[in-house]
Amino acid sequence: MFVRMDHPSPAHPKTRVLFVCLGNICRSPLAEGVFRHLAEEAGLAHQFDIDSAGTGSWHVGEPPDARASLVASKHGITLESRGRQVTREDFQRFDYVIAMDRDNLRVLERMKAETGSDAVVALLRSFDPEADGDDVPDPYYGGSSGFEQVFQIIRKACRGLLEQLPKQTA
């Protein structure tokens, strides 16, 4: 469930959003890149601090999967992040921690409870009113066409997320 927070505030002038999947080389870097691109198109990029991470550590320091970078590039988006693992500090740093699927959501909810954070933890697809499921499927073990499908799912949900997040009025 999405809960609107009162960010941005004078103490934190930007709304801080973290996208999280399992390894941080496919879905979450795509979501980070897509959301940044949509915010730029809307003239709102300066209002957000956007990042991505994974619940696992397998790909720390690696660039996004080549197939994710290729599909993003086809849509005019460059993926610049490097794989990293989500940390307890992320729950203090970010206002919104957005999971790609229910398995990662459960991990994030446990971490949030351990930190006492007031960050909103939610599924990305919860921001798409027309979603036909909760999870963004993991395209890692599939072919290139799976990455295009995942890109479309992510773009639609990121549009909904951007519409629902608080904006600066000044």
Asked if the bond preceding 13 is cis, omega within 30° of 0, the reply is no
Instruction: Supply the residues annotated as catalytic.
Output: 21, 27, 138
For CA atoms 23, 90, 96, 167, the dihedral sign is negative
Q: How far apart are CA 24 and CA 27, in angstroms?
A: 7
